[in-house]
């Protein structure tokens, strides 16, 4: 379903009625709405969200001022007299070719005797086209869910400037949340949660019967309470980490864009060093694992090297003495004895001198049939030693690489310290203050990350103990006759919870893999230097990484333009996996990117989301002639938001 | 995933799971109940689940 048109009336900057007819042409699927910063692009998207969901979802920090005001146009508020009423209205018409749904939300304001503008009336209605014309829909929530559920709207309506935050360090939780949201697994999570509560309820019921059950059950309850507390603590730490990362990024962004070229250059140097440090840190972890694998592979042979060498020596000795292999195969000699006939045809009896001679020859051959086995064994032992030599060389090579890496890391740390001292000691007061703030954030971040790891490990331990306790409790309950009936209920709930947890895990894993594949597909189709990259990965911890052609992780060394492409690709993948074919609206799609990278993205953006209706809210600096030229053949409608500075109001004008 | 798709997938996975038939039935009923009362108050599901658990646990066992 597509947006056919949008009507805004007195919504924030927009005075009077403003209409936008979206492009409904599948070949020209882009609608461009251009406007300078502050003219109302974000509020345009906010209006759509308010109409559909009753909330604007604009980031409060960015629009703090406007969020404190009512949504009625300020100029109209000023002109109201006591008792006057005015309406804010947003109407969206949806359909494929012809209108099939009309969604309208309005809010009436009145100016009270105290001079305050208050909400007088509100309404939300949906009209659906049925035989005989448009009829009002009774279950509006279900209709909105059918178009686009609130939980996934963020993958359809988003701000290009904010996308980068998905891929900051420690932002696995953002990606995890997105994957969980898009999976729509709330149903299973709620069911598990409710079943667990009922299970605890039933267990409590049984405590009255047996003291042993009561003790076990109490222990379990205590552990569950402790786990809940730890989970809350972990969430709080996660929030702290995200906030610290965001603050850190804001400071570094400030330094990156600083007007003094030396500050900018120093920050650029730091970015490069940090990126190199991350690569080296990762490589050292990899090396340690590779060494561990090599050592473990031949762990048993490592301790018996001396014995292996001595055995080979002994076999060599026998070989030199021509005992291995024997001159004549003992098997053949034994056959001669048994047949009593020589190869020349002469027959001999059991006690004849020929027979005795052959018997002696057999006896002389100490190793009998095992001689072949000894020779084979020697060859295997030699292979083991060869392999060991090769592995020792490999370990030496890896250790040398690790040493080089550690030496380089030492230099990097010193240089990073120098940069920090230089920035903190600069004459530019603001830069110095920001740098000190940065140092404090990094310290706090380190502590939060360490605490988070401890928390995760404690939760894991508790989970294991809880599982053991649950089993013990089940055993105790089974033994108790009085509780047999309730035991059956608890067991049923336990089995159901286990099954649902498995299903939950499977679904999330499937979605994670699909999003990984789709993100890679979009990224490779949009990125200009495709040959430099090998893979896009989302690991079990929901960390996204990009692997370059050398097999190294390079997410943090991607340019801002490349990261924007990655973010757009990730959003497109989420949108696709969500399964909803709703329109996409992107505010500032090119983010803060300028120059050549912007042109590169612009070149490929028309191919992005080919079969989806896309509306781009672009700034005048984004919508450069070259971008316009590149997207022109896919643009079906173009509008300009004209802002009147004196009155503080905006109007939407059709362009071209 | 759309609600219809995820619901279908969950049911398929419940069917394929290795738990016994009465557990499968219980899960399906619980999921159906949750779909209808996703945001309902605690007491409503608590009582309902207890009844479900009571009913299904009494039900004679069957093969997987």
B-chain residues within 8 Å CB-CB of A201? 46, 50
Say whether pLDDT at A16 is over 80. yes
Min CA distance, A151 vs chain B (Å)? 11
pLDDT at residue A171, rounded to an integer? 54
Q: Is A361 exposed, middle or buried (0-12, 13-18, 19+ CB in 10 A)?
A: middle
List, for residues A174-195, the tens digit of each pLDDT value: 677 777 776 777 888 889 998 9
Out of A128-137, A147-156, A298-307, the most confident range is A128-137
Min CA distance, A296 vs chain B (Å)? 36
Say whether pLDDT at A637 is over 90. yes
Question: Is B34 within 8 Å of A190 when comparing Cβ atoms?
Answer: yes
User: pLDDT averaged over chain A?
Assistant: 84
Instruction: State mean pLDDT over A400-426.
Output: 93
Q: Which of B8, B27, B43 to mutate to test the interface with A (most CBs of A within 10 A)?
A: B27
Q: How confident is the model at residue A396 (pLDDT cuts 50, 70, 90)?
A: very high
Q: How confident is the model at residue B37 (pLDDT cuts 50, 70, 90)?
A: low
pLDDT at residue A123, rounded to an integer? 94
Q: Would you say residue A439 lies in a domain?
A: no
List, for residues A497-543, the tens digit of each pLDDT value: 999 999 999 988 888 898 899 999 888 888 888 888 999 988 877 77
Residue in B closest to A181 by C-alpha: B1
Residue in A closest to B47 by C-alpha: A198
Q: Which of A496, A504, A518 to mutate to test the interface with B (most CBs of B within 10 A)?
A: A496
Report which DSSP code applies to A72: B
Instruction: State mean pLDDT over A601-610.
Output: 75
Question: Is A579 within 8 Å of B1 when comparing Cβ atoms?
Answer: yes
Burial A567-594 (b: 16+ CB within 10 A, else e): bbbbbbbbbbbbebbbbbbbbbbbbebe
pLDDT above 90 covers what percent of chain A? 29
d(CA A100, CA A94): 6
Min CA distance, B40 vs chain A (Å)? 11
d(CA A522, CA A87): 43
Q: Would you say residue A26 lies in a domain?
A: yes
Say whether pLDDT at A202 is over 70. yes
Q: Would you say residue A330 lies in a domain?
A: no
Q: Which of B14, B31, B56 sits opposite A492 (nearest CB)?
A: B56
Question: Is B14 within 8 Å of A198 when comparing Cβ atoms?
Answer: no
Instruction: State mean pLDDT over A216-245.
Output: 88
Q: How many domains are contained in chain A?
A: 1
Tokens 């009147």 map to which residue?
Answer: A644
Q: Which of B53, B54, B56, B58 to mutate to test the interface with A (most CBs of A within 10 A)?
A: B53
Could you tell me the two tokens for A114? 């105290």
Instruction: Show the domain range for A121.
Output: 2-148+580-654
Question: Across A112-216, where does the E strand assignment appear?
Answer: 117-130, 133-136, 157-159
CA A224 to chain centre: 28
pLDDT greater at residue A260 or residue B43: A260
d(CA A563, CA A416): 24
Say whether pLDDT at A303 is over 80. no
Instruction: State mean pLDDT over A291-320.
Output: 82
pLDDT at residue A502, rounded to an integer? 93
Which A positions 533-552 lie with beta carbon below 8 A of chain B?
none
Question: Across A386-434, where does the E strand assignment appear?
Answer: none
Q: Would you say residue A25 lies in a domain?
A: yes
Residue in A closest to B10 by C-alpha: A503
**What order do you get walking across the sheet with A2-9 strand by strand?**
A17-21, A2-9, A85-95, A99-111, A117-130, A133-136
The torsion angle over the Cα atoms of residues A106, A111, A116 and A119, rounded to 10 degrees, is: -20
Say whether pLDDT at A170 is over 70. no
Say whether pLDDT at A62 is over 70. no
A494 touches chain B (CB under 8 A): no
pLDDT greater at residue A83 or residue A153: A83
Side-chain half-sphere exposure of A284, counting CA atoms within 13 A: 14
Give the Cβ contact number of residue A597 at 10 Å.
19
B-chain residues within 8 Å CB-CB of A182? 1
pLDDT at residue B42, rounded to an integer? 46
pLDDT at residue A559, rounded to an integer? 75
d(CA B15, CA B64): 10
Element (H, E) at A138: none
Instruction: State mean pLDDT over A626-640.
Output: 89
A195 touches chain B (CB under 8 A): yes
pLDDT above 70 covers what percent of chain A? 92
d(CA A426, CA A262): 10
pLDDT at residue A47, rounded to an integer? 94
Q: Would you say residue A20 lies in a domain?
A: yes
CA angle A206, A208, A214 (to 5 degrees): 70
Range with the poorest average pLDDT among A16-20, A220-224, A535-539, A552-556: A552-556
Provide the number of CB pairs (under 8 Å) joining chain A to chain B: 95
A-chain residues within 8 Å CB-CB of B54? 485, 489
Side-chain half-sphere exposure of A572, counting CA atoms within 13 A: 26
Q: How confident is the model at residue A645 (pLDDT cuts 50, 70, 90)?
A: confident
Gyration radius of chain A's alpha carbons = 37
Q: Are the CB atoms for A524 and A518 separated by under 8 Å?
A: no
Say whether pLDDT at A141 is over 60. yes
**Residue A325: is the preceding peptide bond cis (ω within 30°)?**
yes
Q: Which residues of B touch A (CB under 8 A)?
A: 1-3, 5-7, 9-10, 13-14, 17, 19-20, 22-23, 26-27, 30-31, 34-35, 38, 42, 45-46, 49-50, 53-54, 56-58
Q: How confident is the model at residue A61 (pLDDT cuts 50, 70, 90)?
A: very low
Residue in B closest to A497 by C-alpha: B27
Q: Which of B7, B8, B13 to mutate to test the interface with A (most CBs of A within 10 A)?
A: B13
Q: Hey, CA dihedral for A427, A433, A437, A438, is it positive or negative?
A: negative
Say whether pLDDT at A330 is over 80. no
A184 touches chain B (CB under 8 A): yes
pLDDT at residue A58, rounded to an integer? 56
Question: Is B50 within 8 Å of A149 when comparing Cβ atoms?
Answer: no
Burial A469-501 (b: 16+ CB within 10 A, else e): bbeebeebbeebeebeebbbbbbbbbbbbebbe
Give the Cβ contact number of residue A536 at 10 Å.
24
* H-helix segments, A54-185: 64-68, 74-79, 140-147, 172-183
d(CA A262, CA A266): 6
pLDDT at residue A553, rounded to an integer? 76
β-pairing, A133-136 with A157-159?
A: unpaired
Say whether pLDDT at A568 is over 90. no
Q: Are the CB atoms for A30 and A634 separated by under 8 Å?
A: yes
Give the Cβ contact number of residue A61 at 10 Å.
8
Instruction: State mean pLDDT over A387-403.
Output: 91
CATH number at residue A51: 3.40.50.300
pLDDT greater at residue A19 or residue A317: A19
d(CA A56, CA A88): 14
Q: How far apart are the first and last CA of chain B?
A: 30
d(CA A204, CA A490): 11
Instruction: State mean pLDDT over A250-269.
Output: 88
Min CA distance, B63 vs chain A (Å)? 15
Q: Would you say residue A639 lies in a domain?
A: yes
Give the Cβ contact number of residue A285 at 10 Å.
10
Q: Which of B1, B14, B35 sits opposite A183 (nearest CB)?
A: B1
User: pLDDT averaged over chain B?
Assistant: 76
Instruction: State mean pLDDT over A417-444.
Output: 91
Report which DSSP code applies to A114: T
Could you tell me the two tokens for A358? 């052959």
Question: Is B34 within 8 Å of A191 when comparing Cβ atoms?
Answer: yes
pLDDT greater at residue A31 or residue A170: A31
A158 touches chain B (CB under 8 A): no
pLDDT at residue B41, rounded to an integer? 45
Q: Are the CB atoms for A631 and A606 separated by under 8 Å?
A: yes
Q: How confident is the model at residue A571 (pLDDT cuts 50, 70, 90)?
A: confident
Q: Would you say residue A402 lies in a domain?
A: no
pLDDT at residue A172, rounded to an integer? 60
- How many residues are recorded in chain A? 656
Instruction: State mean pLDDT over B20-42.
Output: 77
Q: Would you say residue A12 lies in a domain?
A: yes
pTM of structure: 0.60
Q: Which of A184, A188, A496 sits opposite B26 (nearest CB)?
A: A496
CA B38 to chain centre: 13
Report which DSSP code applies to A345: S
Could you tell me the two tokens for A99? 């209108």
Question: Is A502 within 8 Å of B26 when comparing Cβ atoms?
Answer: no
Long-range contacts of A187-191 (CB under 8 A, 24+ apart): A187/B6, A187/B7, A187/B10, A187/B31, A187/B34, A187/B35, A187/B38, A188/A500, A188/A503, A188/A504, A188/A507, A188/B10, A188/B31, A189/A504, A190/B34, A190/B38, A191/A500, A191/B27, A191/B30, A191/B31, A191/B34
d(CA A509, CA A512): 5
């Amino acid at each position: 379903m597509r947006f056919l048109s949008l009507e805004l009336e007195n919504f924030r900057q927009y005075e009077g009625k403003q209409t936008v007819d979206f492009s409904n042409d599948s070949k020209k699927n882009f609608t461009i709405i251009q406007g300078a910063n502050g003219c109302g692009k974000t509020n345009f998207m906010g209006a759509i969200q308010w109409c559909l969901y009753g909330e604007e979802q604009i980031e409060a920090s960015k629009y703090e001022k406007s969020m404190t005001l009512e949504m009625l146009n300020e100029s109209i508020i000023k002109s109201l007299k006591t008792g006057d009423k005015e309406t804010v209205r947003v109407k969206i018409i949806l359909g494929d070719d012809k209108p099939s749904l009309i969604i309208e939300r309005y809010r009436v304001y009145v100016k009270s005797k105290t001079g305050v503008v208050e909400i007088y009336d509100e309404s939300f209605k949906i009209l659906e086209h049925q035989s005989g014309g448009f009829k009002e829909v009774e279950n509006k929530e279900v209709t909105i869910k059918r178009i686009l559920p609130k939980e996934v709207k963020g993958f359809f309506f988003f701000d290009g400037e904010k996308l980068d935050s998905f891929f900051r360090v420690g932002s696995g939780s953002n990606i995890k949340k997105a994957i969980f949201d898009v999976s729509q697994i709330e149903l299973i999570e709620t069911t598990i949660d409710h079943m667990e509560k009922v299970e605890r309820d039933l267990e409590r019921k049984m405590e009255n019967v047996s003291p042993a059950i009561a003790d076990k059950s109490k222990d379990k309850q205590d552990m569950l309470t402790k786990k809940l507390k730890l989970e809350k603590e972990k969430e709080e730490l996660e929030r702290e980490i995200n906030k610290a990362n965001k603050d850190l990024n804001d400071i570094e962004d400030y330094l990156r864009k600083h007007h003094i070229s030396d500050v900018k250059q120093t920050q650029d140097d730091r970015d490069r060093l940090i990126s190199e440090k991350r690569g080296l840190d990762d490589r050292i972890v990899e090396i340690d694992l590779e060494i561990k694998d090599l050592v473990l592979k031949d762990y048993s042979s490592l301790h018996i090297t001396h014995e292996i060498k001595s055995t080979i020596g002994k076999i060599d000795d026998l070989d030199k003495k021509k005992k291995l292999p024997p001159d004549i195969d003992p098997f053949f000699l034994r056959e001669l004895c048994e047949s009593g006939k020589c190869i020349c045809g002469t027959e001999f009896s059991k006690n004849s001198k020929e027979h005795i001679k052959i018997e002696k020859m057999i006896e002389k051959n100490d190793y009998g049939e095992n001689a072949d086995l000894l020779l084979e064994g020697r060859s295997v032992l030699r292979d083991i030693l060869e392999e060991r030599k090769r592995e020792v060389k490999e370990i030496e090579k890896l250790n040398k690489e690790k040493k080089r890496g550690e030496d380089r890391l030492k230099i990097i740390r010193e240089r990073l310290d120098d940069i920090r001292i230089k920035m903190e000691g600069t004459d530019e007061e603001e830069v110095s203050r920001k740098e000190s703030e940065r140092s404090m954030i990094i310290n706090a971040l380190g502590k939060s990350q360490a605490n988070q790891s401890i928390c995760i490990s404690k939760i894991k331990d508790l989970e294991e103990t809880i599982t053991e306790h649950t089993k013990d409790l089940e055993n105790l309950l089974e033994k108790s006759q009085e509780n047999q009936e309730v035991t059956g209920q608890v067991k049923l709930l336990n089995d159901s919870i286990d099954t649902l947890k498995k299903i939950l895990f499977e679904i999330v894993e499937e979605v994670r893999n699909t999003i990984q594949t789709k993100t890679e597909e979009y990224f490779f189709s949009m990125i200009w230097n495709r040959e430099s990259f090998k893979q896009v990965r989302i690991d079990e911890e929901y960390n996204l990484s990009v692997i370059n052609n050398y097999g190294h992780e390079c997410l943090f060394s991607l340019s801002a333009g490349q990261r924007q492409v990655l973010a757009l690709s990730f959003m497109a993948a989420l949108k696709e996996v969500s399964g909803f074919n709703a329109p996409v609206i992107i505010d500032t799609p090119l983010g803060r990117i300028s120059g050549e990278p912007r042109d590169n993205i612009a070149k490929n953006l028309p191919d992005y989301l080919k079969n989806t209706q896309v509306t781009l809210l672009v700034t005048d600096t984004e919508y450069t002639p070259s971008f316009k030229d590149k997207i022109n053949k896919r643009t079906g409608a173009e509008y300009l938001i004209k802002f009147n500075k004196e009155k503080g109001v905006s109007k939407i004008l059709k362009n071209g | 995933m759309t609600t219809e798709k995820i619901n279908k997938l969950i049911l398929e996975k419940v069917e394929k799971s290795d738990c016994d038939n009465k557990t499968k039935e219980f899960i399906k009923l619980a999921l159906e109940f949750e779909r209808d009362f996703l945001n309902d108050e605690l007491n409503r599901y608590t009582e309902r689940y207890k009844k479900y658990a009571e009913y299904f646990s009494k039900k004679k066992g069957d093969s997987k």
